[in-house]
Amino acid sequence: MSDHEHSRCENCIIRQMNSFKALKKEELKQMADNKKTKTIKKGDIIFKEGERLGGVFCVRNGISKLSKMSDNGRDQIVKIATKGEVLGHRSVISSEATNLSAVALEDMEVCFIPKSHIEEPLQTNPVFTNAVLKHMAQELKFADDIIVNMAQKTVRQRLAEILLYLEENFGTDKEGYLYLQLSRADIADVVGTATELLIRTLTKLKKEGLVLTAGKRIQILDKKALLHIVEGL
Amino acid sequence: MSDHEHSRCENCIIRQMNSFKALKKEELKQMADNKKTKTIKKGDIIFKEGERLGGVFCVRNGISKLSKMSDNGRDQIVKIATKGEVLGHRSVISSEATNLSAVALEDMEVCFIPKSHIEEPLQTNPVFTNAVLKHMAQELKFADDIIVNMAQKTVRQRLAEILLYLEENFGTDKEGYLYLQLSRADIADVVGTATELLIRTLTKLKKEGLVLTAGKRIQILDKKALLHIVEGL
DNA sequence: CGCCATGTTGACCCAATTCAACGAGAGTGG
DNA sequence: CCACTCTCGTTGAATTGGGTCAACATGGCG
């Protein structure tokens, strides 16, 4: 493996984007010596709901979905995780099996970090622990928002919200289409509905001139109108 | 104020039930000297969404609901918090305004603890910080479950689940009725639906012989059947 | 070229919301 | 004590939203 300077955690830019920035030099060195960088192909499973993770996965590049299977057999996507995010920290912290599955939506590069290198700083480095704590507090707040959305909003509202989210967080290509090309099924799994209804709802937005589609690609035409949909009915 | 032995945090039984058990004697002493015990009447607001809390509320007695207002004007109850639970820790940790409102469902006794007495141990007492961290990890997992339920399950399934939850967590009186008597509107706000539909769904369960109602009181007759509803359709 | 996964549409049925009306208990003030 | 009102629970009926099954299109990809 070509372990050059960029694969040393100390120099990893990703570190600036998450709680790892609170780690000390020695801790990072330890981590760098034990981490395993993995290349993951689009569609590959990083981990599956119910597995016990021996560590966390730090996303170096690419985008993944975190989902949970419902009793009725449908997947619900709970989060889309990208560069800089750490997967599996929740289950390492509570030393339980994961409640979520992680699947790559694009080719990815992730670093697997054995849990001992997380657990130890959690005991000894309060700055790190507090950074993680703050991060989880944020996640909890987002989760509350999602609960309310799922419980109270229509598919149309949730779709509008996700389209805006995708543009906000992943941007567009030069032609103005959303950079992240989720399949209709994936979008449906985020929204929490059947793909047929998702498609119908999207088609309606298209007819109203708020979005534009070309194959699986989607472009937002009227951001304001979408925002308006998200809020009122 | 009758500050007897039971009002010293060091001796508070509640402490055994939450992260405060990880606090050291001196920290508890400090806390005891600065906390304010408050009596809160049924229906009273403990705090409102958007407020900046100067500390956390430790529930000594009674039951409260934590809810968030949706854009469409309906309240969504996100959690029911009871004896031993700490309210407002999330917003203190991330030093933001609360995203939730807390209202008493019964007469309550809560201790208000100024945030400094939380923040300081978070910096200096890793055992405490880790206890809080673990607790939040649990909450996050529950939140994921709720998201999936809201997104994928019917009102009937969610109602069945909540009835079982209420029995499991708050028990029944001697006649077998659920101890915690939520109003139909509150149950609807937990389930995430209109009270009319909630009532209709409950009535159906009654006709099927799975539950029994007397005024606002509810009794579970067939736990197994309810469990079956929760899982399959 | 043909295959398989994905996207799309129709039609039907059940789930859920909404508005409207009414009933039943719980104060409250005369 | 009664009448009044207020909140809460309950039911009806109309309408819309959403799920499901089946059929068909389409578009990469071997």
Rounded (10°) CA dihedral B204, B69, A70, B163: -40
On whether the CB atoms of residues B27 and B125 are closer than 8 A, the answer is yes
Q: Test B138 with A94 for CB contact under 8 angstroms.
A: yes
Buried b (16+ CB within 10 A) or exposed e, A153-172: bebbbbbbbbbbebbeeeeb
Gyration radius (Cα) of chain B, Å? 19
In eight-state DSSP terms, residue A16 is G
Helix pair A126-152, B126-152: axis angle to 10 deg: 20
Distance CA A101, CA A103 (A): 7
- Token reading at B162: 């909540």
Q: Which of B140, B153, B232 sits opposite A143 (nearest CB)?
A: B140
Using an 8 Å CB-CB cutoff, list chain B residues near A143: 140, 143-144, 147
For residues B76-102, give the mean pLDDT.
96
The token pair at A21 is 């920035």
- Rounded CA-CA distance A169/B39 in Å is 45
CATH number, domain A9-150: 2.60.120.10
* Burial profile A210-219: b = 16 or more Cβ within 10 angstroms, e = fewer: bbeeeeeebb
Q: DSSP letter string over A206-229? A: HHTTSEEEETTEEEES-HHHHHHH
Collect all residues of chain A within an 8 Å Cβ-Cβ radius of residue B192: 150-152
Residues of chain A with CATH 2.60.120.10: 9-150
What percentage of residues in chain B have a pLDDT greater than 70? 97
- Which regions in chain A score pLDDT beneath 70? 1-6, 233
Q: How far apart are CA A198 and CA A207, in angstroms?
A: 14
Report which residue is nearest nucleotide C5 when distances run from CA to C1': A183
Closest CA to B128 of B17, B19, B13: B19
Residue B232's closest chain A neighbor by CA?
A72
What is the Cα–Cα distance from A204 to A192, expressed in whole angstroms?
18
Nucleotide nearest to B153 (CA to C1'): C15
Which nucleotide is closest to A202, CA to C1'?
C8
How far is residue B79's CA from residue B65's CA, in Å, rounded to a whole number? 6
Helices (H), A35-125: 89-93, 116-124
Residue A134 is predicted with a pLDDT of 96
Q: Which two tokens stand for residue B212?
A: 């029994």
**Cβ neighbours around B173 below 10 Å, total:** 11
| Domain B153-231 part of CATH 1.10.10.10 | yes
> How many Å apart are CA A165 and CA A226, to the nearest integer?
11
Tell me the pLDDT tens digit for each residue of B110-155: 999 999 999 999 999 999 999 999 999 999 999 999 999 999 999 9
Measured between CA atoms, how close is A191 to chain B, in angstroms? Answer: 8
Residues A43, A40: Cα–Cα separation, whole Å:
8
Q: Looking at the complex, report in whole angstroms how far the Cα of residue B174 sits from the nearest Cα belonging to chain A.
A: 34
B230–A141 CB contact, under 8 Å: no
- Show which positions of strand C are touched by protein (CB under 7 A): 6-11, 15-20, 25
B129/A124 touch (CB, cutoff 8 Å), yes or no: no
User: Which member of A71, A141, A146 has the closest CB to residue B147?
Assistant: A146
| Spatial CB neighbours of A198, under 8 Å, sequence gap ≥ 6 | A155, A159, A184, A187, A188, A191
What residues in A contact B73, CB-CB < 8 Å?
Answer: none
In the three-class reduction of DSSP (H, G, I as helix; E, B as strand; rest coil), residue B233 is classed as: coil
Q: Give CATH 1.10.10.10 domain extents, chain A.
A: 153-231
Q: What is the DSSP letter of B147?
A: H
pLDDT by residue (tens digit) across B16-72?
A: 889 999 999 999 999 999 999 999 999 999 999 999 999 999 999 999 999 999 998
The pLDDT tens digits for B162-202 are: 999 999 999 999 999 999 999 999 999 999 999 999 999 99
The answer to whether residues B32 and B69 touch, using CB atoms and an 8 Å cutoff, is no
**Distance in Å, residue A170 CA to nucleotide C7 C1':** 23
Contacts of B146 in chain A (CB under 8 A): 147
Beta-sheet strands, E only, within chain A: 36-40, 45-47, 55-61, 64-69, 75-81, 86-87, 101-104, 108-114, 211-214, 217-220
Residue with structure tokens 């509107």? B185
Q: Which nucleotide comes closest to A194 if you measure CA to C1'?
A: D19
* Residue in B72, B132, B191 nearest the CB of A133: B132
- Given the structure tokens 């622990």, which residue do they identify? A129
As a rounded value in angstroms, the CA-to-C1' distance for A50 and C4 is 30
Chain A: closest CA distance from residue B1 (Å): 35
Question: Cα(A67)–Cα(A78) distance, rounded to whole angstroms?
Answer: 5
According to the model, what pLDDT value does residue A232 have?
A: 81
pTM of the model: 0.94
Check the CA dihedral B134-B140-B145-B149 and report its sign. positive
CB nearest B143 (choices: A96, A143, A233) = A143
Residues of chain B in contact with residue A232, where contact means CB-CB under 8 angstroms, are: 71-72
Using a 10 angstrom Cβ sphere, with 0-12 exposed, 13-18 middle and 19 or more buried, the burial of residue B2 is exposed
Sequence-ordered list of residues with C-beta below 8 angstroms from that of A145, at least 6 positions apart, any chain: B68, B99
Q: How far is B93 from chain A (nearest CA, A)?
A: 6
CB-based contacts of B154, cutoff 8 Å, min separation 6:
B233
Q: Given the structure tokens 């915690």, which residue do they identify?
A: B180
CB contact under 8 A, A71 and B192: no
Contacts of B191 in chain A (CB under 8 A): 151
Question: Tokens 């007695």 correspond to what residue?
Answer: B61
In angstroms, the CA B94 to CA A132 distance is 11
Contact between residue B11 and residue B51 where contact means Cβ atoms under 8 Å apart: no
Spacing of A233 CA from C8 C1' in Å: 26
Return the structure tokens found at A217: 């690609």
- Enumerate the nucleotides of strand D whose atoms come under 7 Å of any protein CB: 8-13, 17-22, 27-28
Is A137 close to B136, i.e. CB distance below 8 A? yes
Closest CA-bearing residue to C1' of D18: A197
B147 neighbourhood in chain A, CB within 8 Å: 68, 76, 78, 143, 146-147, 150
